[in-house]
Amino acid sequence: MADPAAQYTAEALARRFELEVVGDGDIVVEGVCALEPGRERRLAFAETARQRDIAAASRASLLIVPRQLIDLDRPVLLVSDTPRLSFARVAAVFERPASEPGIAPGAVVAASAQVAPSASVGANAVIGERAVIGAAVIVGAGGVIESDTTIGMGSTIGPRAVIRSGTMLGERVVVGAGAVIGERGFGLVPGPAGLEAVPQLGGVRIEDDVEIGANSTIDRGAIDDTVVRTGVKIDNQVHVAHNCVIGAHTVIAGCTGIAGSCTIGSRCMIGGGVGIGDHVSIADGAIITAASQVPKDIDTEGVYSSTFRAMPARAWRKRLALFRALDRIEARLKRVETKNGISGDPL
């Protein structure tokens, strides 16, 4: 949701994001738009010289362009070596929802909680004992911030999100609607009368500039904290179990499940629906494609997959029949090799 109150001059954006201004730096924009057809008082971007005609005709008031488009006949341009990245960074300043500072009617704030004057606490939100809510934090309607929790400056907690006791969030963290951070981990041990719960005494530490999608869950640690490092981006409906450590700037797509005590490296890309087994370590920079299963450590940067692509159902059933027959096929092959005096590697 864009902030309707946000307005920036081209010169101000150039200074903030280290861009070069060509033309009238006093032109004001109040949001972003697509390059074609574009909108007045909005910013768009072009990436290549092939977009020259579209960029020239765009109704956008301000464009971010590569250096090969610096000669466009426009009132003002922002020049970048990486226009798409620069556009993403600029667009982020308009993304933060507008919210008036203060505590909305119906919100419940404990007497021992510290809420910064510039923070916004939505209707029916709950702030627990000794919680610390930093400057410019937004807690959405129905959000729950439990006791002894710290929310860093500029963070946004979505509607109905729950931040359980003892959780620490850094600055500019975004938690989507319905997410739950710091729930007890799924720790069980067999006992004489069945499974018994293992106390989950750790917490969760979320570092700066992390995004956690709607309805995602991150469990607190059993003893040590679960840790999500700087710049991690987690999609909707992702589960991170207790005692995991997610390395800086890793990206995790929707519906992925990460079992307990995993260590995920920095700059990893994990596709949607991936399942990662407990106590698995994944190297920095690893890419795991969608729906893969990861039961063992990945020690080297690279691209990893473990699933079949979709195929017609009849073809899949034929392959499934072969899978089920693999033991018999292997035994038959060994008999043939033995009969013919062939010594081959085992399958």
Domains of the chain by start residue, with CATH? 8-95 (3.40.1390.10), 102-304 (2.160.10.10), 312-347 (no CATH)
Burial 198-232 (b: 16+ CB within 10 A, else e): eebebbbbbbbbbbbbbbbbbbbbbeebbbbbebb
Instruction: Name the helix (H) or strand (E) containing 226.
Output: strand 226-228
Asked if 279 is an active-site residue, the reply is no
Residue 137 has pLDDT above 60, yes or no: yes
The angle subtended at Cα 227 by Cα 222 and Cα 233, nearest 5°, is 135
Q: What is the pLDDT of residues 172-219, one digit of tens each?
A: 999 999 999 999 988 888 889 888 888 888 899 999 999 999 999 999
Quick one: pLDDT at residue 345?
A: 61
Quick one: pLDDT at residue 1?
A: 42
Instruction: Name the helix (H) or strand (E) containing 342.
Output: none
* Of 206, 279, 284, the residue nearest 250 (C-alpha): 284
Instruction: Name the helix (H) or strand (E) containing 199.
Output: none
Q: For a pLDDT cut of 90, what percent of the chain falls above it?
A: 71
Handedness of CA 99, 104, 106, 109 (dihedral sign): positive
Residue 294 has pLDDT above 90, yes or no: yes
Tell me the C-alpha distance between 85 and 329, whole Å. Answer: 53
Quick one: pLDDT at residue 334?
A: 85
Instruction: Name the helix (H) or strand (E) containing 17.
Output: helix 10-17
Backbone angles phi, psi at 232, to 5 degrees: -65, 140
* Of 4, 26, 23, 1, the residue nearest 13 (C-alpha): 26
